[in-house]
Amino acid sequence: MTLRAAQPGDLFLLLLPTADPQATPPIWQTEWQARYGGNCTQPLHVSIQRFTCTDPAQLPALADALQMATTAHKAIPVAGIALQPLLSGFRQNLILKCRLQQNAALHALSDLTRAQLTQQNLIPDFPWYPDLITVLEDIDPIPVGQILLPTPQPLFIGNELLLSRVIARNTYLPIRQWQLLD
């Protein structure tokens, strides 16, 4: 199945670590940057789901439903198992994605999000579990294909959810952000 690139107006539910304004990129990210070039993606996040909601009046109730359904979830450890260079139609450059090690907590959050969107008569764009995150943008050309990591690389602990709207390329409007259980 081919998925269209993100577009202005799309909504995303993102899993991210608690923001630290003083934080520098993690060592693993700067090491990959030194090897592959480009810029470190900040904030690091897992796109749990993408969808559209054309009725602005529906958005507050949707945000309430998503927050209420997900706040009981515990923080989710996110680890990578492979690197994958891809051409991003949305960013219009070569990016480095990291394939995620799947876990039951990530699957449960994804299933719950799909169910909440369906209950709100919205159509989730991602029919699968989140499996890739962008770690570098605008990288130098590297060999095509997946690069397996020797051991799973811990990326971050996802303990916040952010509902956000795409405004334009590299411009996003945060709608609501909330914590998961620690």
> What is the structure's pLDDT at 4?
82
The residue whose two tokens read 């051991």 is 151
Domains in the chain, ordered, with CATH? Answer: 11-179 (3.90.1140.10)
> What is the structure's pLDDT at 65?
96
Question: How many Cα neighbours within 13 Å face the side chain of 56?
Answer: 1
Alpha-carbon gap, residue 20 to 87, rounded angstroms: 29
Average pLDDT of every residue of the chain: 92
Question: What band does 24 get if pLDDT is binned at 50, 70 and 90?
Answer: confident
- DSSP string covering 37-62: -SEE-SS--EEEEEE----GGGHHHH
Helix (H, G, I), strand (E, B) or coil at 87: strand
> What is the structure's pLDDT at 141?
81
Alpha-carbon gap, residue 105 to 125, rounded angstroms: 20
Question: What band does 2 get if pLDDT is binned at 50, 70 and 90?
Answer: low
What digits encode the pLDDT tens for the residues 40-95? Answer: 998 899 999 999 999 999 999 999 999 999 999 999 999 999 999 988 877 778 99
Over its C-alpha atoms, the chain yields an Rg (Å, rounded) of: 16
Strands ordered across the beta sheet of 132-137: 39-40, 132-137, 93-100, 76-88, 147-158
